[in-house]
Amino acid sequence: MLRYKHFFIAVFLLLSQFGYAQCAMCKAVVENGDISMAEGVNNGITYLMVFPYLLIGVLFFTLYRYRKRIKN
């Protein structure tokens, strides 16, 4: 089982270099726009990235409180 784990980690590390790209529309907007347009695209990406982590954090916090309440 440990061999499979090491194999998958190596595969993901090798393939991660190919995943470093933007979508075609984002790339076109950033290349043709000015600096404020690029900052807006980056802020939008950050905004969209934060909410899944917040939802998962709230879920884990709720489960933690629920389990803590059951133990008492």
Judge contact between 37 and 29, C-beta under 8 A: yes
* pTM of the complete model beyond 0.85: no
Per residue in 11-62, pLDDT (tens digit) is 777 766 555 556 777 777 777 877 887 788 888 888 888 999 999 999 999 9
The four Cα atoms 70, 62, 59, 57 give a dihedral, to 10 degrees, of -120
The pLDDT of residue 55 is 95
Q: Which two tokens stand for residue 11?
A: 């595969």
Higher pLDDT, 5 or 16: 5
Could you give the CA distance from residue 10 to residue 4 in angstroms, rounded to a whole number? 10
